Structure 1
Amino acid sequence: MHLSEVARKLRISKPVVSRHLKILKKAGLVRVKTLGNLYLFSTNVTELEERAMDVFMERHTVKISKDATLFDALKQLPDVEIKSLGGNRYITSIDGEKGYYIYEVNGISPAVPIDEYKPEKTLYST
């Protein structure tokens, strides 16, 4: 969408739209495509979705020993319910939502059970 079209639809001046688009671009929420002296703006949907979800996510810092597993870290988090079945331990509830959970580390499912996975470094920092 062109800046003039945004200004017309919102019924505000072009300089005001320009200022806001500059802020949104700097924040990574909009993209700009340049065609000669024409600037076309589009939303960065992925960034918007991630930032919108951040409002609802709680952040916790968990410290574990070098030999501890990811499961040991998760046990420290509030609202994580763990049960043992047939010698195995499972996460059965997170924030009151019952179910059996599959884990990923940085978007990848490790080849070992969660109670054997040992983080090599800080996975996430807040």
Structure 2
Amino acid sequence: MTQNSTFSQVTTDQKLMILNALGSDTRIKIMQLIRENEIHISEIARNLGLSVPVISKHANILEDAGLITRKIYGKSHVICVNNTNIFSALDMFAPKKKVHVKKGTCLLEALENVAAVEVKKINGQESVVSTDGEEGFFVYEVDGEFSKKTVKDYKIEKNSTVSWKKLEPVARIELDIVVDGE
């Protein structure tokens, strides 16, 4: 799996590899250890109280799934998180719905045929604020590409696959802020 691939371009087998890789307490602990910095495999083994060969085996599974990257310096192996695909690992469980529309139909109308949609005007622009009663911020991809148009302005001209996505608050970085003098 390439580091720059988007999850919608990843095959079902690769998605299953990601989920399988995250199905081990040891691999989860490895991911937690390396979330801040790249770490040498032997240091991970010491931290977890396991042998280097055991950690190497787990690292291979994580690497095959595209969840980590490995740098090799001579005989030393250092790994770090590649979270490109982690954040979208659950996309494969989204329900699939088929909708028939006429050419030129706006995406909002197509969406309204399969979901309860609430639209509000925000900063002078109509935005979807709720889908099937679930409030949030939403974006969409058409055939794996994000569009710069609103759902009302996007006109459907050909058979397409649209991924309607709710932006979830997934931590990309966690800050422990210490105020000096307090």
Shorter chain as normaliser: what TM range? 0.5 to 0.7
Q: Deviations over 1:48-84 (max 9, x none)?
A: 2222xx1796332323235243223211333x22469
Secondary structure at the residue paired with 1:46? coil
Give 2:45's aligned amino acid. A
Q: 1:65 aligns with which of 83, 101, 125?
A: 101
1:10-49 mapped onto 2 (5 Å cutoff): 10-49=48-87
- For normalisation by structure 2, the TM-score amounts to 0.50
> What is the total number of aligned residue pairs between the two structures?
117
* 1:26 to partner: Cα distance: 0.5
1:1-126 mapped onto 2 (5 Å cutoff): 1-51=39-89, 54=90, 58-67=94-103, 68-78=105-115, 80-82=116-118, 91-98=128-135, 103-105=139-141, 106-110=145-149, 114=152, 117-124=155-162
- In structure 2, stretches of 5+ residues that fail to align are 1-38, 164-182
Secondary structure at the residue paired with 1:117? coil
* 1:109 to partner: Cα distance: 1.5
Q: Which has the larger radius of gyration?
A: 1
* 1:44 to partner: Cα distance: 0.8
The answer to whether the 8 Å contact 2:106/2:151 transfers is no
* 1:12 to partner: Cα distance: 1.3
For residues 52 and 139 of structure 2, the distance between their equivalents in structure 1, rounded to whole angstroms, comes to: 48
- In structure 1, stretches of 5+ residues that fail to align are none
For residues 113 and 72 of structure 1, the distance between their equivalents in structure 2, rounded to whole angstroms, comes to: 8
Q: Does the C-alpha gap of structure 1 residues 23 and 90 become closer, same or farther in structure 2, counting only changes over 3 Å?
A: closer
The answer to whether the 8 Å contact 1:31/1:43 transfers is yes
Identity of aligned residues (%): 26
